[in-house]
A and B are shown apart, each in its own frame.
Chain A
Amino acid sequence: MVDSGQVVSPGAAAPRARLVSLFASFVRVGGGMFGGGYAMLPLLEREVVERRRWATHAALADLFALAQVIPGVIAVNTAMLIGQRLRGWRGAVVAALGTVTAPFLAILLLAGLFDRLGGHPWVARFAAGLRPALAGLLLGTALRLVWRGWRRRGAWILGLAVTALTLVWALNPVWAILAGIGSGLLAQAIVTRRGRAETAG
């Protein structure tokens, strides 16, 4: 059966979108998302696929997956990729700016309020309650990550070593990440060379 409801296939050229509507759409997505990047996907599907029909579910899922391996904030990366697909570099810039606009304004408002009301006993009390709650939230999130990511023994050792180095010797996270990227590439280079040597020999 031919799916006539499918407006754009993943490979086909995307329909033309106005930069203004692109901006407006991503302001809406950025303002509606709470918490992490994964909270964004349902919002994006509603806005980009169902409302605007700029892309199919499959195309969106593909861009979302690509956004995970590009450095930076996943939500912003996804927005940039969609914007770029629709309107080139202008689209990418506009979509990225749109995504951060609502949070930016919300934070400015909140920061202004916080600075002005910081001395108020109610605010102080809320902050005192917020701190242990956030500590628990971070610990829970970290444990979930550990649970999900450390299935293999090598990963356990590596992860615990990083935790210990950070806690005991204040290891700079920049070095930890650069070392991770470097050793991943090195391992790949060794594997490739060995494979080549085997086929040659």
Chain B
Amino acid sequence: MIELLQLFLAFAKIGLLTVGGGMAMLPLVRNEMLAHEWLTELEFVDILGLSEATPGPLVVNCATFVGWRVAGLPGAVTATLALLVPSLVCVLLFGMLWRRYRNHPGMARVLAVLRPIIAGLILAMALRLCRVVLGEVAGGGDWIQTWRPLLVAGAVCLGVLHGKVSPVLLLLAGAGLGAWLC
């Protein structure tokens, strides 16, 4: 019961503090998962990978998966709904406010400050996860074992930067290449 309450509070907080969509949520999710010791960094990576490859908004998938891992079906339901509650409150209770102030210069100013902060948070998370993943695969082994995951990560990264192919396809192709190579 305590666990469900903690899950609810964690994901409601994540939902409330996210402006600008799914990717912006991930550093918050990672932080909550590690703080509560619900997941290790590698488990977080696995769950992210599976969430990205499954239909639906990335963070919703992630919440369902984490909830399931922590407390089974009740956990999955709690985490998923908790993510929706803050937006529902914002839309239903403060919908008029949002409509009135959406073009207010203050809103633009807050978003202008938040955007680089969120990009910085995501970049830090990406770098850290790269280190964990590549370090774990290398596992103190020699260089020959290290270049394969580096090649996979680099290829997918370049594919994303190129920006013409769907990220899901890139991820699955990368995973296939990785499974074959590693």
Report if A and B associate in a common complex.
yes
Interface residues of A (CB under 8 A from B): 30-37, 40, 66, 68-77, 80-81, 84, 89, 92-93, 96-97, 99-100, 102-104, 106-108, 110-111, 114, 125-146, 149-150, 155-156, 158-163, 166-167, 172-174, 176-181, 183-185, 187-188, 191
Identify which of B55, B109, B134, B136 gathers the most chain A CB atoms within 10 Å of its CB: B55
The yes or no answer to B88 lying at the interface (CB within 8 A) is yes
Asked whether any CB of chain A lies closer than 8 Å to the CB of B154, the reply is yes
B residues contacting the other copy or chain, number (CB 8 A): 110
B118 proximity list for chain A (CB < 8 A): 145, 177, 180
Query: Could you say which of B83, B124, B137 contacts A162, with CB atoms under 8 Å apart?
Result: B124
CB <8 Å contact, A135 and B133: yes
Chain B residues 95 to 123 lying within 8 A of chain A, measured CB to CB, are 95, 98-99, 102, 105-107, 109-123
Minimum-distance CB pairs A-B, first 4:
A103-B56, A129-B178, A140-B160, A133-B174
Q: Are B127 and A103 interface neighbours, CB within 8 A?
A: no
Give the A-binding residues of B (Cβ under 8 A): 13, 15-23, 25-28, 31, 42, 45-46, 48-61, 64-65, 68-69, 73, 76, 80, 83-84, 86-88, 90-92, 95, 98-99, 102, 105-107, 109-130, 133-134, 136-137, 148-150, 152-161, 163, 166-168, 170-182
A142 CB contact (under 8 Å) in B18, B102, B119, B137? B119
Could you list some 23 contacts between A and B, CB below 8 A? A30-B56, A71-B15, A71-B19, A72-B16, A73-B18, A76-B83, A99-B60, A100-B60, A107-B61, A129-B177, A129-B182, A132-B178, A135-B153, A136-B130, A140-B160, A150-B116, A160-B120, A163-B127, A166-B120, A173-B27, A176-B117, A179-B117, A184-B106
Question: Hey, which chain A residues are within 8 Å of B121, CB to CB?
Answer: 162-163, 166, 173, 176-177
Majority-rule SS of B interface residues: helix
Q: Which residues of B contact A185 (CB under 8 A)?
A: 106, 109-110
**What is the CA–CA distance of A73 and B61 in the complex, to the nearest angstrom?**
11
Residues of B near A133 (CB, < 8 A) are 49, 152-153, 156, 170-175, 177-178
Once bound together, how far apart are the Cα atoms of A142 and B127, in whole Å?
9
